[in-house]
Structure 1
Amino acid sequence: MKRLQLQRWSSTALSPRVRTNNRLHQQLYSTGLRLQSTVSPLQSESTISENVEDASFQNPDAMRHIRPQDTIAISLSPVEAATQSAKLAALHARLYLPSRLPLQTLARTLVDASADSNVDFNNESLATLGHDLLANYTSEHLICTYPRLPLSVTFAAMYAYVGPKTLAAISKEWGIDNATVPGGEVDPGFLQFRRVAPGTAVEDISQLQSARPYADQKKWRMTVSSKIFYDDEFGDAIKGSVALGQGVTDETARATFVRAVLGAIYLHAGRPAAKRFFEQHILSRHLNISELFNFSQPARDLARLCARENFEAPVAKIVSETGRKSRSPVFVVGIFSGQDKLGEGSGSSLMEARERAALSALKGWYLYTPINPRVPSSMEEEGAAPWKPAHIDLGEVIV
């Protein structure tokens, strides 16, 4: 019996719309996959379009140098590519973004200024707006919730909430992948940016020109209060923007993307959606502010604080002890101001327990939180209750 060729027989029997792939199509497809996995020289758009028009589908050799992604880039505009990107749609659904935020704007947030210098297509303007929103929402939350925090602790808490490292970690949790090289053929769901060349010092990328006067004088004293006027929201010196054509680090590009997403939500969905997104992705992260304190001499600072607030001088008293003459004694010391107990601490020596008790008293003072604190931005909500002035403290103790 003669053997039947099922592929050729099925191609002639079925209609043209449901025919199986012929050998020529399989050969072209396998060639395209092989070229896609290797590095091929880049071609201009005019050259690619001429090759697509003039190539004969009867000659497989004429189609070997044409990549499938080139034909897709020609047939789809950036707007159509954003609407047909599965990664972009999955990101939109995964973050539960508002429906009023289009996929085209979300795709723009993934294009860093180092990849595309055109301000109409990169995320620079959106990131600037998102940066201001993050700084505003975070600062009002910290100041109204903890009105007695020292400035140094406030700067550290700001960095922990919306610093570049935190925002980069958030983008990784969102499942954002980096594009190897930015370009028009890249899927809009990838983060596109120009990487820093290997061996480049990070400090030399930005223009190190601070807004602080006498910044070139190393011996000029920089106080904590001056950081409010001359430095950024983290208490660091403000540096110039990255020069055009220079690359950025992965951390910087990811942080810029997160800021751009918040700015895009604010523009398309309004302030309530932007604030809700901030509360869900930023404020929902637990931060133990008590671990940010670093007192060198807590007993001296507590004595100055009691003198400023017209309290009685703090006195350390032993509350309990055990094993004084053993290898591992434990002492519990309390700090009292008159009849009021300010703090308590334990240690293997009286001095250690006294320092911990003073540290506990200072943290109890600086971590004071009003009942049901409100932030100024809550007045923009519909049906907001009348505003009650927030508690304003005298500030930290100056020793």
Structure 2
Amino acid sequence: MKRVQLQRWSSTVLSPRARTVSRLHQHLYGAGSRCQSTASPLQVDSNAQSNLGDASFEDVELMKHVRSAHKRKGNLKYPSPPVDAAINSAKLAALHARLYLPSRLPPQTLARALVDASADPNADFNNESLATLGHDLLTYYTTEHLLCTYPRLPLTVIFAAMYAYAGPKTLAAMAREWGVEHASLPGGEVDPGLLQFRRVEPGTDIDATPNARTPRPYAAQKAWRMTVTSKIFYDDEFGDAFKGPATSGEGVTAELASATFVRAVMGAIYLHAGRPAAKRFFEQHFLSRHLNISELFNFSQPARDLARLCARENFEPPVARIISETGRKSRHPVFVVGIFSGQDKLGEGAGASLIEARERAALSALKGWYLYSPLNVRVPSSMEEEGAASWKPVYVDLGEVIV
């Protein structure tokens, strides 16, 4: 029996199938195996491919495993997966189908959208440029929707609505809903269907990092930069202090990396499929999210604001009148108060006291004014569609009452 085993390893009697298995065995376990070969790993793969006719199913699977191990070992030198790896990624194909992305968007671009600049500093392989374009598109589409649908909204409410529609927390939640998983560490051997970014070191003060500081010329001028006008000129689209871009190599949070990925997907759709596809993607994934704008108001003195609004619009001064009441002398009274301007009722509210009911009635009147929405709302981007009707100017309000 021992003689037979020695004879099987003789190079003179090796069959093509045995030679294939022997070379694969040598490649897996090193040059110390019995069958010596001077072929390179790539030559081993080509030699093994020439003997597929005699190889069994187990040999073919072993050869595929060696080839994939070789490929992973060669990809270790890259900071992100190579471009051709996106074609064979099942995660990437599933994400492409799950989002119902246009067929003109190749998987290579979607894989690039999953590579954050903190993982790969090369601008040709990360999603920084795509995210910049997607950020501008999201800001434009969201702003025109809010301004054309609710032309009387105060600017602070617009900032809050912008953050609710396209803020980083919302975008990160969307990425989780899409089923995007995070890679433990970025690298060339990682599946292209995973979100790759360099995480912030534990214990790092996020607010003290360079990419979270306000620009130096305005950092010392916070006293006068608290006004609404200064927020328009110097702050971002959410009314927050402007944050400079993160430098390459710095770690980012999972929320910021997920938000950047969603913006990059928006920019990739615009580049490969055009404006109609990008607008359709925005309506399906962003405007479809319900937002109760009436809950974003926060008036400190609604009665005073309503009086100033009526004075500006040349209405009669608002007057509070009791509409109904019950249990005035009981433990739980209820008063219903209406705010009237002449013969017109502006708002109505109920409360446990007359003062509370009057405040709620004034708040209802202010919301009724600021939440006005015209019929047949059209946004400027609708003119980009083929066969669009002639443009009619949208309603432009005088603006909020500055107190």
**Secondary structure of the structure 2 residue equivalent to 1:332:** strand
* Backbone CA RMSD of aligned residues: 3.0
Q: Does 1:169 align with 2:168?
A: no
SS across alignment from 1:225? helix
* 2:279 is the counterpart of 1:275: yes
Q: Is the 8 A contact 1:211 1:230 kept in 2?
A: no
Check whether the contact 2:225–2:231 (CA below 8 A) recurs between aligned residues.
no
How many Å apart are 1:79 and its aligned residue? 3.1
Letter aligned with residue 199 of structure 2: R
- The answer for the alignment partner of 1:150 in structure 2 is 154
TM-superposed CA distance for 1:145, in Å, is 0.4
Per-residue deviation, residues 3-46 of structure 1 (Å, max 9, x unmatched): xxxxxxxxxxxxx99x9xx99999x99x9xxxxxxxxxxxxxxx
Aligned counterpart, 2:72:
73
Shift of 1:296: 0.6
1:331 maps to which residue?
Answer: 335
2:123 maps to 1:119 = yes
2: distance between equivalents of 1:295 and 1:366? 12
Task: Give the gaps of 5 or more residues in structure 2.
Answer: 1-15, 30-38, 49-61, 76-80
The separation in 1 between residues aligned to 2:347 and 2:180, in whole angstroms, is 46
Q: CA deviation at 1:241?
A: 1.1
Among 339, 342, 347, the residue aligned to 1:343: 347
**C-alpha separation in 2, matches of 1:129 and 1:355:** 45
* Pairing of 1:71-220 with structure 2 (within 5 A): 71-73=70-72, 78-207=82-211, 210-211=214-215, 213-220=217-224
Superposed CA deviations along residues 178-218 of structure 1, whole A, max 9, x for unmatched, are 00010110010000100001111102223455458543144
1:16-27 mapped onto 2 (5 Å cutoff):
none
* Distance in 2 separating the partners of 1:266 and 1:208: 29
Check 1:297–1:123 CA distance in 2 against 1; reply closer, same or farther (3 A cut).
Answer: same
Does the 8 A contact of 1:79 with 1:104 survive in 2? yes
Q: Separation in 2 of the partners of 1:291 and 1:190? A: 36
Give 1:353-392 correspondences, 5 Å limit: 353-392=357-396
Partners of 2:225 and 2:178 in 1: how far apart? Answer: 42
1:185-334 aligned at under 5 Å gives the runs 185-207=189-211, 210-211=214-215, 213-334=217-338
Residues 68 and 190 (structure 1), Cα distance of their counterparts in 2 relative to 1, 3 Å cut: farther
Per-residue CA deviation, residues 293-324 of structure 1 (Å, 9 max, x unaligned), is 00011011000000000000111111111111
**Matching residue's letter, 2:146:** L
| 2:114–2:261 Cα contact (<8 Å) kept | yes
Mean Cα displacement is larger for which, 231-240 or 134-143? Answer: 231-240
Q: Deviations over 1:199-254 (max 9, x none)?
A: 11102223455458543144334311111111110011112111221110000000
1:346-374 deviation line (CA, Å, top 9, x unaligned): 01111111110000000000000000111
Identity of matched residues, %:
74
Over 3 Å counting, the alpha-carbon distance change for 1:325 and 1:192 in structure 2 is same
Q: In structure 1, what is the Cα distance between the partners aligned to 2:123 and 2:247?
A: 14
Cα distance in 2 for partners of 1:389, 1:285 equals 27
Find the residue that maps to 2:350 and give its secondary structure. Answer: strand
SS of the residue 2:320 aligns to: strand
119 and 87 in structure 1: CA distance in 2 versus 1, 3 angstrom threshold: same
Give the Å deviation of 1:117: 0.5
SS at match of 2:148: helix
2-side partners of 1:339 and 1:205: how far apart?
A: 58
The SS at the match of 1:130 is helix
In structure 2, relative to structure 1, the CA distance for the partners of 1:68 and 1:195 (3 Å cut) is farther
Name the residue aligned to 2:10: none
8 Å contact kept, 1:302–1:361: yes
Residues in 1 aligned to 2:184 and 2:120: alpha-carbon distance in whole angstroms: 15
Instruction: Give the aligned residue type for 1:265.
Output: I
Q: Distance in 2 between matches of 1:107 and 1:218?
A: 41
Q: 1:212, 1:230 within 8 Å by CA — same for their partners in 2?
A: no
Residues of 2 paired with 1:82 and 1:24: CA distance?
A: 30
Aligned-partner residue type, residue 190 of structure 1: L
Say which SS state the counterpart of residue 334 (structure 1) adopts. Answer: strand
Q: Distance in 1 between matches of 2:66 and 2:255?
A: 32
Q: Is the 8 A contact 2:206 2:212 kept in 1?
A: no
Relative to structure 1, is the Cα distance of residues 192 and 237 closer, same or farther in structure 2, using a 3 angstrom cutoff? Answer: same
Secondary structure (helix, strand or coil) at the match of 1:128 reads helix
Q: Secondary structure at the match of 2:228?
A: coil
- Contact 1:69/1:185 (CA < 8 Å) preserved in 2? no
Give the direction of change, closer, same or farther, for the CA distance of 1:262–1:208 in structure 2 (3 Å limit).
closer
